[in-house]
Amino acid sequence: MDKIKLMANKALQFLTQAKAELKKVTWPTRKQTLASTGVVMVIVAIMALYLGIIDFVLAKLVKIILG
């Protein structure tokens, strides 16, 4: 029974400390979040285009080599 109480106290202590740490976090504004999301989407689109072109070229090369 003592083990259960000890584990419960540790869990409660962890949650209390986690809550205290989350209060210290500086959360981004909506504008910052949207700007970051836009940057990520543009980079993903560029990378997808680049990888698509590379895939197309390599597929054509393999087709030419293997007939």
> pLDDT (tens digit, 9 = 90+) per residue, 12-59?
999 999 999 999 999 999 999 999 999 999 999 999 999 999 999 999
* Token pair of 42 as six digits: 């543009």
Could you tell me how many residues make up the chain? 67
This model's pTM is above 0.85: no
Q: State the pLDDT at residue 39.
A: 98
- Residue 49 pLDDT: 98
| Cα 66 from chain centroid (whole Å) | 40
Please tell me the distance from the alpha carbon of residue 60 to that of residue 4, in angstroms, as a whole number: 65
Tell me: pLDDT of 1 over 90. Answer: no
Copy the structure tokens of residue 25.
Answer: 């976090």
Rounded (10°) CA dihedral 28, 31, 34, 39: -90
The parent domain of residue 33 ranges over 2-66
Helix (H) or strand (E) holding 25: none
Number of domains in the chain: 1
Q: Identify the pLDDT of residue 3.
A: 85
